[in-house]
A and B are shown apart, each in its own frame.
Chain A
């Protein structure tokens, strides 16, 4: 294993540990947020974003970090976002956190993991068609928020 792979594993273990400690991997917490009953996952996510955002941009000033954002493609981001959301509302787990849900014994996430593997396969099958017809919908550009504000 390369150093990069080992670091990926260490990052995952630390992140999974914190996800579980924060209690955000559970179905009840995820659906709780979507039903406006329990905002634990938002508290967790936004805290991570605030800390990470400050740190990443701080190190970016000194050239220690290079930003790598994904391009904006409105059609993809909006349609894909909506479709993901609909599936998320049924499953109640995210691609990243359901491994954590399995880790704390919530084994219904196994079905979600299997479904996601199938879903990725279905996407790969339909990708050429999407590429022809839809994937260039909307503006396509790579820009960060600060530059769209000024």
Chain B
């Protein structure tokens, strides 16, 4: 396998992306299922709420549809963490950082501000992903790979929303 060094130890995104396509094919052949990431957050919050208030969880239709249990997709999401950890440690690109460089240039290096915005962004993003029926993994990759119209529509609007917000946050490209 030819490795093209892009940024200290990185591979060409075309190569890494193409290999990910192969991973998806093998995974579908093996399990007969297409992966997604956002359902795992529903199951996770269901499991957490079960710990505090199981009656409430039993009342909510959404947790009947997506049972709060540990399933293969949750392990898939955990696996992404492990895989990235292995890759970054093996290529010395692991970096303990709480404020991304681009963010720091615009808003400074206060991790609390970044944390608050990231937290709010996470709430909004997951709400939207569940409403849309998937995230860039489930709709974007698994959906478009099957030529699903729902995946194409959702992916277009993921980017439309993202581009609008990025322009708002970075003042329409006028600031750095």
Contact = CB atoms under 8 A, between A and B. Distances in A.
A2 B31 CA distance: 11
Given A56-B25, A59-B29, A70-B138, A43 B20 contact: no
Contacts of B22: 51-52, 55
Contacts of A120: 38, 41-42, 44-45, 126-127, 130
Tell me whether chain A's interface is mostly helix, strand or loop, or mixed.
helix
A99 to B, nearest CB: 4
A97 to B, nearest CB: 7
B84 A35 contact: no
Contact of A78 (B36, B135, B153): B153
The main secondary structure of chain B at its interface with chain A is: helix
Among B127, B131, B150, residue most surrounded by chain A Cβ atoms (within 10 Å): B131
Contacts, number: 521
Contact of B121 (A36, A44, A87, A101): A87
Which range holds the interface residue count of chain B? 35 or more
B62 A115 contact: no
B10 A94 contact: no
A122 interface: yes
A88 B125 contact: yes
Contacts of B11: 18, 21-23
Contacts of A26: 100
A64 B45 CA distance: 34
Contacts of A57: 147
Highest count of chain B CB atoms <10 Å: which of A23, A26, A116, A124: A116
Interface in A72-116: 72-74, 76-97, 99-109, 111-116
Given A22-B13, A68-B34, A84-B161, A32 B21 contact: no
A5 B71 contact: yes
Interface in B70-128: 70-88, 91, 93-103, 111, 114-128
A123 B62 contact: yes
Interface in A10-33: 10-28, 31-32
A48 B19 CA distance: 7
15 contacts: A11-B27, A12-B75, A48-B145, A55-B22, A70-B138, A78-B157, A84-B129, A86-B162, A87-B165, A91-B122, A102-B84, A108-B97, A122-B123, A124-B63, A144-B146
Given A12-B80, A18-B83, A99-B78, 17 more contacts: A8-B35, A34-B162, A51-B22, A51-B25, A59-B25, A73-B133, A76-B132, A77-B133, A77-B139, A83-B124, A89-B166, A96-B38, A96-B77, A104-B84, A104-B88, A119-B126, A123-B131
CB-based closest 8 A-B pairs = A85-B161, A12-B79, A115-B122, A89-B165, A16-B83, A81-B157, A51-B21, A80-B132
